A = this chain, B = another copy of it.
Amino acid sequence: MREMRIEPIGVIHTPHARPAGTPIQPRMAEGIEGTVEVYEQFAPGLKDLNGFERIWLIYWLDRAPEARLVVRPFMDDTPRGLFACRAPCRPNPIGISCVRLLGVEGAVLRISDVDMLDGTPLLDIKPYAPHFDAFEVGRCGWMDGAQRARMAARGLERPVADGRFEGEGEGGGEGA
């Protein structure tokens, strides 16, 4: 039985210093580059990663506010259950982002489409495989109508965080 204890395996560097203005998902961060610095002792695990076009980064939303079980998500003004949202204020503030892998140089990954804050602690890297991770769905709950309506109302082309999860601390970019 693995003890329930986590430790950073590296750190993610991005241009996003604060939640406000940070893209809420990689899809809305296309072309924004960053790096992943993997700590030396974990570097042997990076072998063979180079062949993948996209990778999952699993990370700790270290600046997320305390958990709230009902939130107003970025894409909607109606209060929603937290588990129906991607907002950072979670009981276990773990973020997942599928970023583009541009290159591997030693223990440093060059990545693109970054939606997390600079200095975010990295917990895991997994290869992205569409036959594992991409599914067609017919329904997407409250998101189905909300995104279009909200972006139109704000005149936005790319949904970005607006600071509502900054609270005492700062929220991460992951949201919806």
Contacts and interface: CB of A to CB of B under 8 A. Distances in A.
Interface in A6-64: 6-9, 25-27, 42, 44-56, 58, 60-64
Interface of A: 1-2, 4, 6-9, 25-27, 42, 44-56, 58, 60-64, 66, 69-70, 80-86, 90-94, 96, 98, 121, 123-144, 147, 169, 176
B70 A2 contact: no
A33 to B, nearest CB: 17
Contacts of A7: 4, 91-92
Nearest 6 A/B pairs, CB to CB: A51-B141, A47-B81, A134-B134, A48-B84, A45-B82, A45-B69
A96 B56 contact: yes
Contact of A1 (B63, B136, B176): B63
B64 A2 contact: yes
A49 to B, nearest CB: 5
A1 B127 contact: no
